A and B are shown apart, each in its own frame.
Chain A
Amino acid sequence: MTERVIAAIDQGTGSTRCLLFNHAGRMLGVGQREHRQMHSQPGYAEHDAAEIWRNVRWVVPEALRAAGLTADDIVAVGIANQRETTVVWDRHTGRPLARAITWQDTRTAGEVADLAHAAAEITAVSGLPMASYFAAPRLRWLLDHVPGLRAAATAGDALFGTMESWLIWNLTGKHVTDVTNASRTMLMDLATLCWSDKLLEIFDIPRQMLPEIRGNAEVYGTCTAVLPGVPVAGALGDQQAALVGQACFAPGETKCTYGTGAFLLTNTGSVRPSSTHGLIPTVGYRFGDATVYALEGAIAVTGSLVQWLRDSLGMIPTAAQIETLASTVPDNGGCYIVPAFSGLYSPHWHPDARGVLVGLTSFIGRGHVARAVLEATGWQTREVVEAMNADSGVPVRRLKVDGGMTANNLLMQFVADVLDVTVERPLGSEAVSLGAAYAAGLAVGYWPDLEVLRANWHRAAVWEPAMEPAIRDRERENWGRAVDRSYGWARPD
């Protein structure tokens, strides 16, 4: 008899994937399909939610085929998704009423500026810094700009959800969200984990259109499509999913996922955290009645800087060859890149910052620039960890890493060097999908408890700090001076 498995749907920014995991947490099959990135105007970044749903229906059977399994072998489905991406749809026809506005979209700068007077209150209730990064300003924009949407929402005919809501609704017909995704809407009270009347009033959003907030590991409904009869039993925002996939179950345990951007989350336990150093207090996960909070540092540009070097500058043919080019020189030669392409996120939150390349001399060559590109990811991580340490009072001692950039050994060593902590990569870099599978598997008893999941975590590589403290301090100071030079560049039109 073949071992039954848990399916994870990873609805990401670039693609939608389905991965199948067994009891040991090993991935047995994957299906993947990319979707269109629509940029109809500067600052716009949209997806077609209907296309993403079609892709879900394609990748699930594809993963089953790859693993040689059938729908009967699936015990439950978990979802991890790109966060803060905003979807509105018609309750009756199931059709999206607008393109999904993604987390990368910056059109709501105006809405955010208009609500500056309420920023302190919004932050106090939601925990989130006032920024165009979160969902509520986007929903407000849609209500103001999509003809008939506000009336339909008020009448209960139009629904709102982030991506997991949209998928669960299509899979099961239930209109629900999970507490981690809800915590990123800017509409949820981070202390009560309920929609906040105050925030709904500030953003002027009809309550009828919101989904019900649920925990991360519970049966939301049973699939009527794709995997008929299989329960959808877990959902988490992708970064919280990675926290679970990396088995960061104890306070102080910290992970960083290095993709297009980088997201560092530390488990802060059962008490709602707050940040005075530019981090985002958020829900880590809620399994049963136990809520675990997290502090998050969000870095907008890490892997995308490498892609920029490849695609826009043509300095490297593949992303992996950044390591080859960077290895041609022993150090950065005095050159630093601050990739504030769309402002700086954690811990600075400077929307008016723009990218700078400083320290140029005639000595600087391609190799130095490549090194500066990688080091920018290391230093941005360091800034977030400094803020973590200051906010939590408990220094980060080890960092668990995952994501595509962990293939870069030079970078991982640099991260260990500048953080002065041990950096560990687990076996299987699919922490996001694994976290979604874990949530669903816990809900249906496929895995009994967190200790079993912790035992599934195996170290695949470790990097120990090896940088001279004096050099670390000098370079940290130089980085800080480079960041100073990125501030205030963008001017309002």
Chain B
Amino acid sequence: VPGAIQSIERAAAVLRLLGNADRALGLHELASALDLPRPTAHGIVRTLYAVGLVDQDPETARYLLGDGLLRLHRGLDGHDLRAAAMNWADSLAGSTGLAVVLGVSDHGGVRLVHHVFRPDGSAQQVRTGQTLPLHATAVGKCLLAFAPTATPPVRELDLARWTGRTCTEVAALDEHLAVARQRGWASSMGEYTSGVGGAAAPVRSGGGLVVGAIGVVGPVEELFGRGERLRSPLAAELLATADAVGHGVSA
């Protein structure tokens, strides 16, 4: 058994100290109460602040417990995720000419929290709020592959058939997910709607936690070239966008 990690113990002590205090505490109080050098205490409390577990009074610069602690069981709010993603999603739609969707795991499906139209002037409807099947869409498969604890186990999913290409066997779906994990993004080729394909990458907040999936949607032949390979540089753009959105999320 490896030994306890000292910085985590100290972080827990900082949280307990703030939780037991009847007022916000200054850095010097934190450092002296825990008998830590000020730079060490500063590094710990700033990290806790950055991940949302500690708040800072803007007037006095003193620290107190953050809302993030109370919201640990609730996960990231979908509207916060959308706000963090807006500019990047627009930019991805602009550079790829494809529609962009942002999905989160919800009640055994993937709920779209944001949708940007394909920028070609065609008639489209906002799909935000729709829940789609996990096993038949790129954003859904992305969550299955990269957020397995936030989604139901694959063998418990209802692998309903939507098109002739839908994965309806556990083994086949597992194989798709393994490929997705290996290359870093998931795809679908007409598995939910005939002729419509998608590619999606996980959005990771600080620490690597997957908080959603961002993907592009469009005609299969526009996304995929010969040998069903994703058109270049789509994958790179997608991964860069997912990365940028993740950096903007403080979960």
Contact = CB atoms under 8 A, between A and B. Distances in A.
A460 B117 contact: yes
Interface residues of A, number: 24
Contacts of B87: 27, 428-430
A154 interface: no
B124 A462 contact: yes
What interface size band does chain B fall in?
20 to 34
B108 interface: no
A460 B78 contact: no
Interface stretch (B7-15, B39-47, B88-96, B203-211): B88-96
Contact of B83 (A26, A318, A459): A318
Given A318-B77, A460-B119, A428 B94 contact: yes
B203 to A, nearest CB: 15
Interface centre among A321, A428, A430, A458 (most CB of B within 10 A): A458
Interface in B162-188: none
Contact of B82 (A317, A320, A458, A460): A320
Given A26-B94, A427-B94, A428-B90, A459 B77 contact: no
B79 interface: yes
A452 interface: no
A463 B94 contact: no
Given A321-B80, A324-B79, A458-B94, A463 B86 contact: no
Contacts of B116: 427, 460-461
Contacts of A48: none
B194 interface: no
Interface string B102-135: 0000000000000111011100111011000000
A319 interface: yes
B67 interface: yes
B79 A321 contact: yes
A26 B117 contact: no
Contacts of B90: 427-429, 460
Given A26-B91, A427-B90, A461 B77 contact: no
Nearest to A464: B125
A157 interface: no
A26 B79 contact: no
Interface in B58-96: 67, 71, 77-80, 82-83, 86-87, 90-91, 93-95
Contacts of A318: 77, 79-80, 83
A463 B126 CA distance: 7
A24 B93 CA distance: 13
A317 B67 contact: yes
Contacts of A429: 86-87, 90
A27 B129 CA distance: 28
Contacts of B117: 427, 458-462
Given A427-B94, A459-B117, A321 B126 contact: no
Contact of A459 (B82, B115, B119): B119
A68 B126 CA distance: 34
Interface of B: 67, 71, 77-80, 82-83, 86-87, 90-91, 93-95, 115-117, 119-121, 124-126, 128-129
Q: Top 9 nearest A-B pairs by Cβ distance?
A: A458-B119, A320-B83, A320-B79, A323-B79, A320-B80, A317-B67, A460-B116, A427-B90, A428-B90
Given A429-B90, A461-B115, 6 more contacts: A24-B94, A26-B95, A407-B86, A427-B90, A458-B120, A460-B90
